[in-house]
Chains A and B, each alone.
Chain A
Amino acid sequence: MTNLLTSLDPVDWAWAGILYWLGLGFAALFLQRSRSLLTNLVFPLGALGALFIAGVGVAGLLAPVSTSVLPIGLPDLPFHLRLDALSAFFLLLLGGAAFGVTVYAIGYFRHMEAGPLAVLTLWYHLFLAGMAGVMLADDAYAFMVCWEVMALSSYFLVTTDHDIPDIRSAGFLYLLIAHVGAVSLLLCFGVLQGGHGNYTFGYMRGAALTPFWASAAYLLALFGFGAKAGLVPMHVWLPEAHPAAPSPVSALMSGVMLKTAIYGLLRVTFDLLNIQLAWWGALALALGLVTALYGVIFAAVQSDMKRLLAWSSIENIGIILAAFGLTLIFYTDGKGALAALTLTALLYHSINHAFFKGLLFVSTGTVLHATGTRLMGQMGGLIRIMPWTAWLTLIGVLAIAGIPPLNGFVSEWLLLQAFLLTPGLTQPYLNMVIPVAAAAVAMAAALAAYVMVKFFGVIFLGQPRDPALLHAHEASWPQRLGMVWLAAGCVLLGLFPTQVITWIAPVVRLITNQRLVNDGNWLLLAPVSAERASYAPLIFLVVVLVVLLLTFIWVRRTYHGRLRRSDPWDCGYPEQDARMQDSAQGFGQPIRHIFVSFMRVERETPDPFDRQPQYHGATLDKLWFVLYEPIARLTNWLSAQAGRLQHGHIQWYLTYSFMTLIFLLVFVTR
């Protein structure tokens, strides 16, 4: 027995974990009667599975590459699985974030009816299994099967509340774009195998493509994975679908599923393709920056809290993609050490985003449960009613805003360092464009702070804008536990960057053949040399705390701590009420004012004599109207033309078939 256990490679453990999740999912179907068994047994077991997968990820980072062939699927087409450092890192990300989210889900789904809950549990675990499968697949066939499992299960999760028309149409849009992307990926794999019909990744690694075909494969991959990741202009589904899903699912979709696209892009570009070209990097950099700025600008003008977070996910994906582009530029320029630095920043930001976005999405779930609305304009003052949620969310908010000493700052710091090292590229144009790119990244980060102050301030601070909020309730214990796990992730990833970088190092070595040297010690992060740049978050935190404590003691000792409570100052105008605070729209107004050219603002202001005034305002994405609606109209027109062939007479259809037959016969015999 022990022999069997020791002979198992990490990859075997990984697929065992996937099977375990699948088993849990299907077992849920037999528990349709018992809600408490579903939430109190299946979800905790699922969370354990996530922890197990994270452990496998750690093992995979330490162990050499392991492969396995599963005899499932079609005859002669077995599933090839492979666990190298890249897969292992993303498995770690999946497991780490999914554990917190699943623990949270125990409390979140407690109030659902048992029947739908059982179905949801199935899709939930299928979704987890699908994502893990994508990261393990080693042939195009297995990859696409897992990719589709992931896409379809998440579609069913998005449409959990399918009796709401908006959610149905959001789900449809998601499904549509996911499949356009999937077709592009299929074509990409077609190009990659080079016409020999062998679809294993091992074969593709060896295939020598010409620059033309390699570029074609790269562009197809960028399109396909970009559609999944929410790259502008393929982003439109994301702000619709992510808010529609139940919050733990939104957390997984934003935190983890988007990263599968990043994983795929890295896999195809650096592993499967045998050549890389500099302009690929420039393209990805430009697209990434556009995505980041576009996303954050729209995040600033949202008034639905989950939609705001979805747009912020677009921003983060943009930053990750910009890092990807920069990695590619350095890599093709022969600057391995810099590519290693940038890649580290990319992976670091990926895992950071999984944790803080997961945390924020689940916290909106708590708020949604407590208040029954997603509109920030009806909230306010929740910090006094639900302090646990508020303070934990504050950690996530500061982390995503890139504020030291939390984790978001570390990855941004690394990325900016990489930008600072660009002089010395052989391409003069790139040399000059890249500082401008750094400026764009800095601006996206600063705008993210704007968005997050708005998010936290409007929901949790101020006075309750709706009297019903006073009856809101705090998160349940499993929910708190899940949030604590995710928040702890944000803090620890922020405080121990040198340790995290050693975990990332095997991936970096795999892709760039370089090691990122840390010139500092275990406290001091110094990626290039200690003279050049260094950062020590732990010391930073300790000093801030010490100064804070000294100030506090000094003020209290020297003076006094007397305090009187009174009403807030009303500026001599006693009629103020809570509705006079800035609403979510009001807070975003300056940004709307500045960037109005990207938006379509629809507003209905009431007549001054209206007895029951109604105000309506919406800020819409202009791209939808200039890009998607024409495409939709064209498609409709084409299908209307095709529709003319439909008559309903069977004779006509037989004639079509007959004509086709004749045509094909002529075509073949020529």
Chain B
Amino acid sequence: MTTGILLQIVQTLIAISLAPLFMGWVNQCRAWLQGRSAPPVTQPYRTLKKLFNKDAVVARNASPLFRFAPYLIFACMALAAGIVPTIANDLPFSPAADVIALVGIFALARAFQALAAMDIGTAFGTLGARREMLVSFLAEPALLMVFFNASFISHSTQLPVIVAALAHREFAIYPSMAFAAVAFWMVSTAENARIPVDNPTTHLELTMIHEAMILEYSARHLALIEWAVALKLFTYSALGIALFIPWGIAPRGDLTALPLAILVLVVKLAAGGALLSLLEAISAKLRLFRAPEFLGTAFLLAVLGMLIHFLLEV
């Protein structure tokens, strides 16, 4: 139990500290693929440091909710990172929150993000909030359905049990998971504000979603939000790894597998980040009203995965 708690804390701290690095790696890959010279991989850390040292500028009419939201969002993402098995499968906290609760954590963070964006009352903030909620009302159920696919196979909604079922049992191909994987990629682009749904580098009012919501933030608040964004991307990648390529995560009670697990994680994340940026590089940003269609497709694919499960895997 003690080792479990220790592992839990270590794992969460690894996620928190590695997340900006992962973000830097994805940005670097993307720059290469676009034929630009890339910023160093540690650039996000420098940005964070710079932001933390600045004086915060807050609008005159900002309510306490506005200043409270970044801390809450960061806490939610840290919590989410703690639930997903990254290196070890022994997470004492995971019974407290299963995958449905994980979706709930993301919803909590998103709700506060959107509310904080509306708090100042500029046209941009509300626009961003509205678009974010629009994207999420399809992305959230689609994510839930992706988890349901995994749950039908493993008969559990707890991530450690799912990982144990998928990785540590006899190998089997699950066609339903192929559908889920495609749906998951589509959802994660939307949830992480990446192309084709949103563009993380844009400041063009016609297209921006996530950036519009955080326009009013500065300094430490902005730093926390940026960090939370990196953490969210990391968590999603870890989720994708845990669901679709879970081999290598140390099983419960096997501490000797840990060093290998860390190595495997790094390799998988590097490959995953490269793949993510490749997919981004070859797709075009969708018009805003194509986004619901895109996500609706993800939603239906995940549902289709469940139907396939009933036909082929029961």
Cβ-defined contact, B130 with A566, below 8 A: no
Q: For B157, what are the chain A residues with a Cβ–Cβ distance below 8 Å?
A: 417, 420, 532-533
User: Does B75 interact with chain A (Cβ within 8 Å)?
Assistant: yes
Q: In A530-577, which residues have CB < 8 Å from any B CB?
A: 530-536, 539-540, 543-545, 547-548, 551-552, 555, 558-560, 562-571, 576
Cβ-defined contact, A432 with B307, below 8 A: yes
Cβ-defined contact, B307 with A435, below 8 A: yes
Minimum CB–CB distance for A446 against chain B, Å: 4
Cβ-defined contact, B79 with A547, below 8 A: yes
Minimum CB–CB distance for B56 against chain A, Å: 5
User: Does B151 interact with chain A (Cβ within 8 Å)?
Assistant: yes
Inter-chain CA distance A531–B164, complex, in Å, is: 11
User: Does B74 interact with chain A (Cβ within 8 Å)?
Assistant: yes
Cβ-defined contact, B124 with A571, below 8 A: yes
The one of B105, B129, B136, B216 that contacts A457, using a Cβ cutoff of 8 Å: B129
User: Does A5 interact with chain B (Cβ within 8 Å)?
Assistant: no
Minimum CB–CB distance for B26 against chain A, Å: 24
Q: In B70-121, which residues have CB < 8 Å from any A CB?
A: 71-72, 74-76, 78-79, 82, 93, 95-98, 100-101, 104-105, 107-108, 110-111, 114-115, 118-121
User: Does B61 interact with chain A (Cβ within 8 Å)?
Assistant: yes
Cβ-defined contact, A446 with B120, below 8 A: no
The one of B101, B133, B299, B310 that contacts A439, using a Cβ cutoff of 8 Å: B299
Instruction: With CB as the reference atom, state the residue of chain B lying closest to A524.
Output: B95
User: Does B123 interact with chain A (Cβ within 8 Å)?
Assistant: yes
Inter-chain CA distance A423–B307, complex, in Å, is: 11
Minimum CB–CB distance for A407 against chain B, Å: 12
User: Does B6 interact with chain A (Cβ within 8 Å)?
Assistant: no
Cβ-defined contact, B57 with A540, below 8 A: no
- As a 0/1 sequence over residues 317 to 333 of chain A, the CB contacts with chain B under 8 angstroms (1 = contact) are 00000000000000000
User: Does B241 interact with chain A (Cβ within 8 Å)?
Assistant: no
Cβ-defined contact, B119 with A446, below 8 A: no
- As a 0/1 sequence over residues 141 to 157 of chain B, the CB contacts with chain A under 8 angstroms (1 = contact) are 10011001001100111
Q: In B131-179, which residues have CB < 8 Å from any A CB?
A: 131, 133-134, 136-138, 140-141, 144-145, 148, 151-152, 155-158, 161
User: Does A436 interact with chain B (Cβ within 8 Å)?
Assistant: yes
User: Does A72 interact with chain B (Cβ within 8 Å)?
Assistant: no
Cβ-defined contact, B59 with A558, below 8 A: no
User: Does A450 interact with chain B (Cβ within 8 Å)?
Assistant: yes
User: Does A92 interact with chain B (Cβ within 8 Å)?
Assistant: no
Stretch at the interface among A19-27, A378-386, A605-613: A378-386
Cβ-defined contact, A401 with B107, below 8 A: yes
Q: For A436, what are the chain B residues with a Cβ–Cβ distance below 8 Å?
A: 303
Instruction: With CB as the reference atom, state the residue of chain B lying closest to A398.
Output: B111
Q: With A431-B310, A453-B111, A581-B126 as given contacts, are A403 and B133 in contact (CB-CB < 8 Å)?
A: no
Q: For B100, what are the chain A residues with a Cβ–Cβ distance below 8 Å?
A: 413, 416-417, 533, 535
Cβ-defined contact, B137 with A420, below 8 A: no
Inter-chain CA distance A463–B122, complex, in Å, is: 8
User: Does B30 interact with chain A (Cβ within 8 Å)?
Assistant: no
Inter-chain CA distance A593–B61, complex, in Å, is: 32
User: Does B185 interact with chain A (Cβ within 8 Å)?
Assistant: no
Q: How many A-B residue pairs have CB under 8 A?
A: 249
Instruction: With CB as the reference atom, state the residue of chain A lying closest to B132.
Output: A453
The one of A533, A570, A587 that contacts B130, using a Cβ cutoff of 8 Å: A587
The one of A443, A456, A547, A559 that contacts B137, using a Cβ cutoff of 8 Å: A443
Minimum CB–CB distance for A538 against chain B, Å: 9
User: Does A202 interact with chain B (Cβ within 8 Å)?
Assistant: no
Cβ-defined contact, A446 with B140, below 8 A: yes
Q: How many residues of B contact A (CB 8 A)?
A: 78
The one of B104, B158, B299 that contacts A409, using a Cβ cutoff of 8 Å: B104
Q: With A462-B119, A531-B156 as given contacts, are A384 and B63 in contact (CB-CB < 8 Å)?
A: yes
Cβ-defined contact, B122 with A568, below 8 A: yes
Minimum CB–CB distance for B169 against chain A, Å: 14
Which bracket fits the contact residues of A? Answer: 35 or more
Cβ-defined contact, A530 with B114, below 8 A: no
Cβ-defined contact, B96 with A534, below 8 A: yes
Cβ-defined contact, B114 with A446, below 8 A: no
Cβ-defined contact, A548 with B71, below 8 A: yes
User: Does A73 interact with chain B (Cβ within 8 Å)?
Assistant: no
Inter-chain CA distance A594–B292, complex, in Å, is: 8
Instruction: With CB as the reference atom, state the residue of chain B lying closest to A562.
Output: B55
Cβ-defined contact, B310 with A535, below 8 A: no
Inter-chain CA distance A67–B205, complex, in Å, is: 67
User: Does B58 interact with chain A (Cβ within 8 Å)?
Assistant: yes
- As a 0/1 sequence over residues 422 to 433 of chain A, the CB contacts with chain B under 8 angstroms (1 = contact) are 010000000110
Cβ-defined contact, A576 with B111, below 8 A: no
Q: For A552, what are the chain B residues with a Cβ–Cβ distance below 8 Å?
A: 71
User: Does B46 interact with chain A (Cβ within 8 Å)?
Assistant: no
Q: With A450-B134, A450-B137, A569-B122 as given contacts, are A551 and B74 in contact (CB-CB < 8 Å)?
A: yes
Minimum CB–CB distance for B245 against chain A, Å: 23
Looking at B130, B131, B310, which has the most chain A CB atoms within 10 Å of its CB? B130
Minimum CB–CB distance for B261 against chain A, Å: 23
Interface residues of B, Cβ cutoff 8 Å to A: 52-53, 55-61, 63, 65, 71-72, 74-76, 78-79, 82, 93, 95-98, 100-101, 104-105, 107-108, 110-111, 114-115, 118-127, 129-131, 133-134, 136-138, 140-141, 144-145, 148, 151-152, 155-158, 161, 205, 215-216, 220, 224, 289, 292, 299, 302-303, 306-307, 310, 314
Q: Which 3 A-B pairs have the closest CB atoms?
A: A462-B121, A463-B121, A442-B141
Given A453-B118, A566-B57, 18 further pairs, Cβ under 8 A = A403-B108, A409-B101, A423-B310, A431-B310, A432-B307, A436-B303, A439-B303, A447-B137, A453-B129, A454-B133, A457-B129, A462-B118, A539-B93, A540-B79, A543-B82, A563-B56, A564-B56, A589-B130
Residue contacts A-B, CB under 8 angstroms, 6 given = A435-B306, A446-B138, A457-B118, A531-B161, A543-B79, A544-B76
